[in-house]
Structure 1
């Protein structure tokens, strides 16, 4: 046993994942970037450990072996090492691999101070100190763009705008200037069906490489609108920050095993939730080409830990996201490794997640859409943690970007707020996906089912296919929203006599007004604008012929 010997913790992490994904707008290179990001936890660390310590396996434990792979996933890795020289060699090996094979991806590693393996809770303290040490190390190094200098004068990459490294024939009959970063992503994706990245992403999507290739081509060349989805688990930072309260024994071995099993269970739950969400779209008829038998137009880019970044055809982005969030809750609640650990903190039984969905034109810059989706998740959907405290609560927030000149969330929501004697918010977001049972007043009108019900009322059609609520009347109501609550409700009153039995009462949800508020301190809110924006992006598969949600 190694009870009285010092141990060091090595933490490796890819920092600029968002920039690495979004520096190009080409779907193939974005998919290739997704593959290269996973190399840190899937290849480079394991290969480095095998070179430094021949015979290494995942079953090695630090009590009996010189190293132990503690955790990998989501572009990061944590390794226990006995001696400082091996720890530094590991960081050198992995970061050099990143420089050679994934130019532009910033990978940073730190070697923690030695701690006594026999001291209870020492590993928890080492993890906390290593995470603190990563930030100053990263900021002290020049960024990856410093490697791509423009003197002497060089041609510009046709894809990324970075300095070109060579003229490359990536398409038949064409030679284009390409940067080293672009070429690395292209190789990771594969020219046809042979790329590792295409195979891995196809496995995540539950299909074959050739089928996922058709999805990439469809999203790049045929789709009119696409949804960029960014989802993240709620409260994971707090769980890992206080994981010492989730273990059954204060010893470091129990802590290490709990960390490993909990992290693996979260990743398994996210993958299972993704597969379930894709299958739900297939059942609704989202398959390309051959109907339900064709590939579903969803491209997973990041699916590691509790993080999900995906591109989806616009018509299916919202149903996919809602299905993923619901499935993530179920799978985490059904995992003994997760439920048992959370129960010791009097939390759970499972985890929740929040998501942002930016629905944009297919050729809109991916970097901007990715940022908008992230802001929708962090600045809006995550509000539910404060609004619905104490229980797991999943929610999503979305925006359909018709005005491509301004994708700033703060300005978008400012335009959807009517100031005056009383503040009126023209969006009811975020929408709660969880079935909470006993709900606080704030949730009223903000359930996912409420949005579906309102969209069903807006989209309702008669037996001959005519709209029950004419488009002209709906747009008059929409314009009135921006003139204030009294004006909008006045126009509503003019319509009630004629359209109350044609879906208008369903749109109101039993109220006498388009607006509601949960308390006198809250602004007035309406869900009409959300419903009208979401109508064309909640696929026909969600509703029956009369516009009623299934």
Structure 2
């Protein structure tokens, strides 16, 4: 009988830890520390355990090791084996429970010292390799023990100042020193806590990792990822918005469960490694395509500046140009990035499209949903992230309610001014009118059936038409007038089209083949949903980066039979 101990690691309170500051550097450092805590640091802790107990361990690494290659813990030569690290969880096997506890102590100590503020949760369960299913044990630990421990955990109360102390500007904890100024930092040194100190120290490592992963040696000579919100492409005195984009794979928890179900213990380990690595690589590859498309869209102008499609100038600092885009959380199906507000919608859609193309170990398409929140540049970052996460959840709910199987979708909110209330409250207050719902979002990435018109293709076609067709281009008052009559419903919209002598007395057609788009174009509404209000709102927040988009724009309304 071979008895082992299963250990599952997770972290809590990650959202406020990463996004609780309005300083991009601190967000960057925090994200890097979180990624290290349950991945590389877990492997390092295993190697430290190896030295302490003088026994062999296997710190499996998908980047260097094949998932099925030995050594195996069941062969009796290992004290510990890393099963997989991915999706925020790390699963390990130990030959004795005392080794699992020692490992957790080693990792916890490092997190306390080098990443204060990250809360590590660990659960252990002994099991019989020969008579129990590792799949069942891991599922039980994740569903019951891990969740229960997260809920029952009493948040630690940090020891505040015992005498006269000063507070950290970012966390309000006791300050331990003044910040060291970065070269490209305008702020004067400010009081920081130990948590912020560690985050700032991690920035250079985070930048190095990001650059090595997504920029070639050639492109890294010209471009770099920004470390300041103001370097994301902000046009001073003209346009000052940033997009926070959060994307998450659809039903990934159940997908991992299904892929591991019914397998022998060793086959389960191999399967989890394969699926975890393929999902992680899919997210990386999709982001790589986003970076590549963005770089190809940048043009060198006659005056020596560089612009995105000629629309706005990107920032230059220290002989390098700052890309108007920065991934914060990446690796796996859960991705968060920030970018110039005019690129949020397009880059989110490109990411979802590229994610669907990636090979996954279980042979299924990786569909995902994205939430895009566009806010003023210095709007509270934690609030913007929370809204993007809520929008992503709204898109997932839309997918379930449509009852058309699994597909990718996106939802967004463009906050031209402040924000008050939840997304649901904002939609009820600002988009519900007697005629119905002014917002067509959430929308699917593509059509699932012929009658689908609430799609990314349809939305972008209408935005391009309003921005580029001679009947609407540059006629701001006319567009604003259309926006106001859409609020009044179908009859008012029809009168507007007639009075303004709009061609064929109809708005641009949506690309669907059931025939209902003609009615939508003539009335502006279909089944209580307005098809054009969202497009009008997005006219200044959408730039197409695809090379063929301008050439293929059709400005003629043709009814689809």
Q: For the superposition of Structure 1 and Structure 2, which TM-score range results when normalised by the shorter chain? A: 0.7 to 0.9
Q: Choose 254-263 or 290-299, whichever is displaced more.
A: 290-299
Aligned counterpart in structure 1 of residue 518 of structure 2, from 490, 510, 533: 510
Aligned counterpart in structure 1 of residue 246 of structure 2, from 222, 230, 242: 230
Aligned counterpart in structure 2 of residue 90 of structure 1, from 103, 124, 129: 103
Aligned counterpart in structure 1 of residue 426 of structure 2, from 409, 412, 417: 412
Q: 1:211 to 1:372 in 2, by over 3 A?
A: farther
Name the residue aligned to 1:338.
362
Name the residue aligned to 1:202.
211
TM-score, with length taken from structure 1: 0.84
Q: CA contact under 8 A between 2:176 and 2:194: conserved in structure 1?
A: yes
Q: 1:13 to 1:207 in 2, by over 3 A?
A: farther
Q: Distance in 2 between matches of 1:488 and 1:502?
A: 10
- Secondary structure (helix, strand or coil) at the match of 2:73 reads coil
Name the residue aligned to 1:327.
354
- Secondary structure (helix, strand or coil) at the match of 1:169 reads coil
Unmatched tracts of structure 2, length 5 or more: 61-69, 235-239, 309-319, 511-515, 556-561
Q: Is 1:251 the counterpart of 2:260 in the alignment?
A: no
Shift of 1:108: 1.1
Aligned pairs for 1:91-170 (under 5 A) are 91-112=104-125, 114-119=126-131, 122-131=133-142, 132-144=144-156, 146-170=157-181
Shift of 1:468: 4.4
Name the residue aligned to 2:255.
239
Name the residue aligned to 1:373.
388
Q: Is 1:384 the counterpart of 2:431 in the alignment?
A: no
Name the residue aligned to 1:21.
18
Unmatched tracts of structure 1, length 5 or more: 190-194, 340-348, 518-523
Q: RMSD across aligned C-alpha pairs, in angstroms? A: 2.8
Q: Distance in 1 between matches of 2:337 and 2:485?
A: 36
Deviations 1:91-110 (A, max 9, x none): 11112211111111111111
Shift of 1:47: 1.0
Deviations 1:210-244 (A, max 9, x none): 86755223645752211101000001111123334
Aligned counterpart in structure 1 of residue 3 of structure 2, from 3, 6, 13: 6
Shift of 1:176: 2.1
Aligned counterpart in structure 1 of residue 467 of structure 2, from 459, 467, 486: 459
Q: Is 1:267 the counterpart of 2:264 in the alignment?
A: no
Q: Distance in 2 between matches of 1:513 and 1:81?
A: 66
Q: 1:128 to 1:536 in 2, by over 3 A?
A: same
Higher helix share: 1
Q: Distance in 2 between matches of 1:53 and 1:263?
A: 25
Name the residue aligned to 2:375.
360
Q: Distance in 2 between matches of 1:222 and 1:244?
A: 44
Name the residue aligned to 1:520.
none
Deviations 1:112-161 (A, max 9, x none): 2x1111236x11111122112123323333325x1252554421212333
Name the residue aligned to 2:513.
none
- Secondary structure (helix, strand or coil) at the match of 1:39 reads helix
Deviations 1:142-187 (A, max 9, x none): 325x125255442121233333122333358944211111111100
Deviations 1:403-443 (A, max 9, x none): 314252012110244354xx50111111211454x45x4xx
Name the residue aligned to 1:533.
537
Name the residue aligned to 2:314.
none
Name the residue aligned to 1:56.
57
Deviations 1:295-329 (A, max 9, x none): 53211111122100100111211111111101111
Aligned pairs for 1:273-312 (under 5 A) are 273-285=286-298, 290=306, 296-312=323-339
Q: Choose 370-379 or 485-494, whichever is displaced more.
A: 485-494
Aligned counterpart in structure 1 of residue 83 of structure 2, from 65, 70, 77: 70
Q: Distance in 1 between matches of 2:371 and 2:400?
A: 15
How many matched pairs?
505
Q: CA contact under 8 A between 2:233 and 2:324: conserved in structure 1?
A: no
